[in-house]
Amino acid sequence: MATEKPLNLKELSKKEVLLAPGHRMCSGCGAPIVVKMVLLASDYPVVVSNATGCLEVSTCISEYTSWKVPWIHNAFENAAATLSGVETMYRALKKQGKIDKEIKFIAFGGDGGTYDIGLQSLSGAMERWHDMLYICYDNGAYMNTGIQRSSATPKGADTTTCPAGDVIPGKLQKRKDITRIMAAHGIPYVAQASPSHWLDLMKKVRKAHEIKGPKFINIIAPCNRGWRSQTDDAILLSRLAVETCYWPLYEIEDGYKVTLNYKPKEKKPVEEFFKPQGRFKHLFSKENEQLLKEIQQDIDREWERLLRESGQ
């Protein structure tokens, strides 16, 4: 692995932001914050593929685009497959001596296009060992099409397809652990990150770029429309997700080596992450006390597992 350059705010402030303003993402959306950080962390030329979703439909309208890098819009389900083909073509051209530039390949997909609809093509790209970085911006539902539940939606959340009411108290199932599913492929690098911890996020992107083979980073991306939170709460909620251990920051290398990147000085109860979000307000009624307790127990159990696996 090449020596990583230190990340310096002063130097980063001089770099060109490769996602231009004027796109139509909602005010306060976490996704463009994530994209800007990822692209700022990249010191190489990059080619991006982007699954259909909020990020795609809002950053490229007809012939107008916010992307200042080569960018490919593909279907909801095949961002990883599309980029696999591009990366393979690049290797062929490099072998023929037609390209001598070191280029990195990044796919962006929301949780719908990653956990669910795009899982097959993502798994295939990882298994075929393509030299690419897949970034999931995880906002926990199909936000672009009406806030329907996805397998990334947390237990207890209120969505349009699992509405909290007299029949059910929101989503009844736990969210899928896509990070560990990717690690189970035995790929060189898998991580979780949060825009609230920008230095950790950007270090992970840079580290991924220096590793040959498939890489996957899952990044929480608050959606104030779907989470029913304030428009200036994205970083606050990202931080609370980390401090409550709902969204721990860690890495898994080669499928087994677990490194915990951040351990809160005081682990906060998950209700502190839930309270600013309207999608969880029903959990604070007396009849849902047990459900909230079960959610806390699930988080505690996973946190203890992570501490054990990382040797802490």
pLDDT tens profile 142-152: 999 999 999 99
pLDDT digits (tens, 9 = 90+) for 63-99: 899 999 999 999 999 999 999 999 999 999 999 999 9
Give dist(CA 81, CA 62) in Å, integer. 23
Tell me the percentage of the chain whose pLDDT exceeds 70.
98
Q: Is 265 left (phi over 0), alpha (psi -120 to 50) or beta?
A: alpha
Q: What is the pLDDT, as a whole number, of residue 5?
A: 66
Q: What is the pLDDT, as a whole number, of residue 1?
A: 43
Predicted confidence band of residue 10 (pLDDT cuts 50, 70, 90): confident
**Domain ranges, ordered by start, for the chain:** 18-309
Q: What is the pLDDT, as a whole number, of residue 3?
A: 46
Tokens representing 31 are 């996704």
Q: What is the pLDDT, as a whole number, of residue 76?
A: 95
Strand partners, 106: 48, 133
pLDDT digits (tens, 9 = 90+) for 246-270: 999 999 999 999 999 999 999 999 9
User: What are the angstrom distances between the C-alpha of 126 and each of 22, 166, 217, 247?
Assistant: 34, 42, 13, 23
Tell me the percentage of the chain whose pLDDT exceeds 90.
95
Strand partners, 64: 61
Give dist(CA 131, CA 134) in Å, integer. 10
Rounded mean pLDDT, 109-117: 97
Given a cut of 70, whether residue 153 has pLDDT beyond it is yes
Given a cut of 80, whether residue 2 has pLDDT beyond it is no
Give dist(CA 295, CA 143) in Å, integer. 23
pLDDT digits (tens, 9 = 90+) for 199-233: 999 999 999 999 999 999 999 999 999 999 999 99
Look at 248 and 4; give whichever has higher pLDDT.
Answer: 248
Instruction: Report the predicted TM-score, pTM, of the whole model to 2 decimal places.
Output: 0.96
Return mean pLDDT, the chain: 96
Spell out the CATH class of 18-309: alpha beta
